[in-house]
Amino acid sequence: MALSPYDELHIYYLSGRLDAGSQPFAGGYLGNWEEEDTSFLFFSRPAAEKVNALLAGQPHLNLLDSFQMTYEQWQGARIEPMQIGGFELRPPWWQGGENPPCENPRRLILDPGLVFGSGTHPTTADCLMALETAFSQNRPETTLDLGTGTGILALASASLGCRRVLAVDLNPLASATAARNVSANAMTDRILVVQGRAEALIDCPAELLVANLHYAVLEKVMAAPGFGKKPQVILSGLLRSEAKAAKERLQQRGFRIDRSWEHEQTWFTLYAVSASF
Ligand code: SAM
Query: Average pLDDT in the 9-38 region?
Result: 92
The CA dihedral of 220, 226, 231, 236, to the nearest 10 degrees, is -20
- pLDDT class of 229 with cuts at 50, 70, 90: very high
Please give the class, per CATH, of domain 8-75.
alpha beta
- Answer yes or no: is the C-beta of 148 below 6 A from any ligand 1 atom: yes
Query: What pLDDT sits at residue 124?
Result: 98
d(CA 12, CA 224): 37
- pLDDT class of 24 with cuts at 50, 70, 90: confident
Report CA(261)–ligand 1 centroid distance (Å): 19
pLDDT, tens digit, for every residue of 79-130? 999 999 999 999 998 875 455 556 788 999 999 999 999 999 999 999 999 9
- Answer yes or no: is the C-beta of 174 below 6 A from any ligand 1 atom: yes
Q: Provide the mean pLDDT of the chain.
A: 94
At residue 208, does pLDDT exceed 50? yes
Residues in CB range of 191: below 8 A, 6 or more apart: 151, 154, 155, 158, 165, 166, 167, 182
Query: Average pLDDT in the 133-159 region?
Result: 97
Query: What pLDDT sits at residue 100?
Result: 57
Q: Which of 87, 217, 239, 268 for mutating ligand 1's site (highest number of atoms within 8 Å of CB)?
A: 217
* Atom in ligand 1 nearest the alpha carbon of residue 149: 14
Report CA(146)–ligand 1 centroid distance (Å): 7
Q: Where do the domains of the chain lie?
A: 8-75, 115-274
Query: What pLDDT sits at residue 98?
Result: 53
Report CA(233)–ligand 1 centroid distance (Å): 16
Query: What pLDDT sits at residue 3?
Result: 66
pTM for the full model?
0.93
pLDDT, tens digit, for every residue of 236-251? 999 999 999 999 999 9
* HSE-CB for 161 with a 13 A CA cutoff: 9
- Answer yes or no: is the C-beta of 108 below 6 A from any ligand 1 atom: no
- Answer yes or no: is the C-beta of 119 below 6 A from any ligand 1 atom: no
Query: Average pLDDT in the 189-216 region?
Result: 97
At residue 180, does pLDDT exceed 70? yes
* Atom in ligand 1 nearest the alpha carbon of residue 197: 24
- Answer yes or no: is the C-beta of 124 below 6 A from any ligand 1 atom: yes
Q: Which of 87, 114, 116 for mutating ligand 1's site (highest number of atoms within 8 Å of CB)?
A: 116
Report CA(156)–ligand 1 centroid distance (Å): 16
- pLDDT class of 261 with cuts at 50, 70, 90: very high
- Answer yes or no: is the C-beta of 211 below 6 A from any ligand 1 atom: no
- Please name the CATH architecture into which domain 115-274 falls: 3-Layer(aba) Sandwich (3.40)
* HSE-CB for 227 with a 13 A CA cutoff: 25
Report CA(39)–ligand 1 centroid distance (Å): 17
- Answer yes or no: is the C-beta of 4 below 6 A from any ligand 1 atom: no
Query: What pLDDT sits at residue 97?
Result: 47
Query: Average pLDDT in the 159-184 region?
Result: 97
d(CA 83, CA 19): 41
Query: Average pLDDT in the 217-244 region?
Result: 97
